[in-house]
């Protein structure tokens, strides 16, 4: 028994040491878009059109669209809001925000067509918005800013995005918007959500043209229009539940891409409870596993081994299993520190990572059950996983 526990503890410790040393330095959270890392501005600012899909976003769309209309971008820029069958006056709220800022000329509100079979709702709205953007008077824009209706941008965000794309010749520049960490549920789970995303798709590998790893964060994606078209357009990913990473993979076939953390874009979407965050995670967790029950089982065993075994052995075992378990627990707490610092959370939250990992295991199971019940990828009243399952 002691030998078996020692082996389990050693595997847990070895997994964390491997991730700390050989997983692209993901845990350092050093890929950031801030004043210190933003490239110099281009000699000429190209035309950009922002496409914002929105379905029942009246509570946040004024702040989101308002932040886009207030961009200090020196080039030609306009915003297309694709109203996806909203029932709460989303379009009217957006128009009023434009009037309040005196920027009605910069905003175009388009009512989307009914959702056809074989598309997720968001991607159908984005596709229509991209098509409308390419009809721009004076010629098509060089870049498309694909951004969500619950994201607020600092006035310099678009300029920074374009500067990076131009200076580094990137076909896609994506930002992991800073998420809300105000409620107790957010403080417990949200920094880890970004930590796990960076672990799954190490940003340093994503940004390396020589590495095949590709990903993007759907809240903020600046795409070069010609590269997007060459990759097959939005239609090429029309069934994707994890649409941002799928688009990132498509775009990396056309050139180099970049993904990083930022303070320039912030989510306006609050999560008041564990259940709300669980639903957010569950929308796509099983899709990440290709809807495979075997991958689900393997993932759950792996997560329990890597996250839960270490504290369990620390408290319940003795001798080598206890000390190796404690070392593994300490290693995961250390790995979590840079992300906690980015979100300005106490370092002590690092020791809660086993509990957090266990909760994400539960969310993953919930995701699979939802798909099995025909409710997978549920968002805004649509079971979107059925399009991609």
pLDDT (tens digit, 9 = 90+) per residue, 19-72? 999 999 999 999 999 877 889 999 999 999 999 999 999 999 999 999 999 999
Question: What would the pLDDT profile of 159-173 be if each residue is shown by its tens digit?
Answer: 999 999 999 999 999
Whole-number average pLDDT of the chain: 93
Q: Which pLDDT does position 35 carry in this prediction?
A: 73
As a whole number of Å, the CA-based R_g of the chain is 22
Question: Is the per-residue pLDDT at 195 higher than 70?
Answer: yes
Nearest-angstrom CA–CA distance, 129 and 145: 11
Q: Which pLDDT does position 382 carry in this prediction?
A: 57
Question: What would the pLDDT profile of 85-136 be if each residue is shown by its tens digit?
Answer: 889 999 999 999 999 999 999 999 999 999 998 898 899 999 999 999 998 7
Q: Which residues pair with 144 in a beta bridge?
A: 49, 223
Averaged over 292-307, what is the pLDDT?
A: 94
Q: How far is CA 279 from CA 89, 266, 317, 367, in A?
A: 25, 20, 35, 8
Q: Which pLDDT does position 189 carry in this prediction?
A: 96
Question: Is the per-residue pLDDT at 387 higher than 80?
Answer: no
Q: Which pLDDT does position 121 carry in this prediction?
A: 86
**Cβ-based neighbours of 99, under 8 Å, separated by 6 or more:** none
Q: Which pLDDT does position 208 carry in this prediction?
A: 97
Q: Pick from 179, 190, 183: which is nearest to 356 by CA?
A: 190
Q: Pick from 346, 309, 336, 382: which is nearest to 14 by CA?
A: 309
pLDDT band of residue 3 (cuts 50, 70, 90) is: confident
Contact 237, 126 (CB under 8 A): no
Contact 254, 233 (CB under 8 A): no
* Between 288 and 210, the higher pLDDT residue: 210
Question: Is the per-residue pLDDT at 389 higher than 70?
Answer: no
pLDDT band of residue 246 (cuts 50, 70, 90) is: very high
User: In the 8-state DSSP scheme, what is residue 319?
Assistant: S
Question: What would the pLDDT profile of 322-376 be if each residue is shown by its tens digit?
Answer: 999 999 999 999 999 999 999 999 999 999 999 999 999 999 999 999 888 887 6
pLDDT band of residue 385 (cuts 50, 70, 90) is: low
pLDDT > 90 fraction of the chain, expressed in percent and rounded: 84
Structural domains of the chain, ranges and CATH numbers in brackets: 2-27+276-388 (no CATH), 31-271 (3.90.550.10)
Averaged over 290-304, what is the pLDDT?
A: 94
**Model pTM score:** 0.93
pLDDT > 70 fraction of the chain, expressed in percent and rounded: 96
Q: Pick from 140, 137, 153: which is nearest to 52 by CA?
A: 153
Contact 234, 224 (CB under 8 A): no
């Amino acid at each position: 028994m002691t030998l078996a526990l020692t082996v389990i503890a050693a595997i847990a410790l070895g997994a964390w040491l491997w991730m700390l040393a050989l997983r692209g330095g993901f845990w350092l959270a050093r890929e950031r878009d801030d004043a210190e890392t933003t490239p110099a501005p281009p000699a000429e600012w190209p035309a950009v059109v922002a496409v914002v899909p929105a379905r029942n976003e009246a509570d946040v769309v004024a702040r989101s669209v308002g932040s886009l209309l207030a961009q200090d971008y020196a080039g030609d820029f306009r915003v297309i809001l694709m109203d996806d069958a909203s029932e709460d006056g989303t379009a009217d709220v957006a128009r009023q925000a434009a009037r309040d800022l005196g920027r009605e000329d910069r905003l175009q509100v388009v009512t989307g067509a009914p959702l056809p079979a074989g598309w997720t709702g968001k991607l159908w709205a984005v596709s229509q918005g991209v098509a409308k953007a390419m009809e721009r008077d004076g010629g098509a824009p060089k870049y498309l800013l694909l951004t969500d209706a619950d994201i607020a941008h600092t006035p310099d965000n678009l300029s920074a995005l374009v500067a990076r794309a131009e200076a580094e010749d990137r076909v896609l520049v994506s930002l992991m918007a800073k998420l809300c960490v105000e409620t107790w549920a957010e403080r417990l789970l949200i920094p880890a959500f970004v930590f796990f995303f960076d672990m799954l798709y190490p940003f340093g590998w994503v940004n390396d043209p020589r590495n095949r790893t590709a990903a993007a964060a759907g809240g903020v994606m600046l795409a070069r229009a010609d590269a997007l078209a060459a990759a097959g357009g939005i239609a090429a990913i029309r069934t994707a539940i994890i649409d941002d990473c799928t688009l990132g993979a498509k775009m990396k076939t056309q050139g180099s891409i970049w993904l990083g953390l930022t303070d320039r874009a912030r989510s306006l979407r609050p999560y008041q409870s564990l259940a709300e965050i669980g639903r957010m995670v569950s929308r796509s967790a099983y899709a990440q596993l290709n809807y495979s029950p075997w991958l689900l089982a393997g993932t759950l065993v792996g997560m329990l081994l890597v996250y839960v075994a270490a504290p369990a052995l620390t408290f319940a075992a003795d001798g080598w299993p206890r000390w190796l378990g404690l070392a593994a627990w300490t290693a995961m707490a250390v790995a979590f520190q840079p992300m906690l610092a980015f979100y300005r959370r106490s370092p002590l939250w690092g020791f809660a990572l086993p509990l957090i990992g266990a909760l994400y295991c539960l969310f993953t199971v919930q995701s699979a059950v939802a798909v099995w019940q025909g409710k997978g990828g549920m968002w805004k009243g649509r079971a979107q996983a059925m399009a991609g399952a």
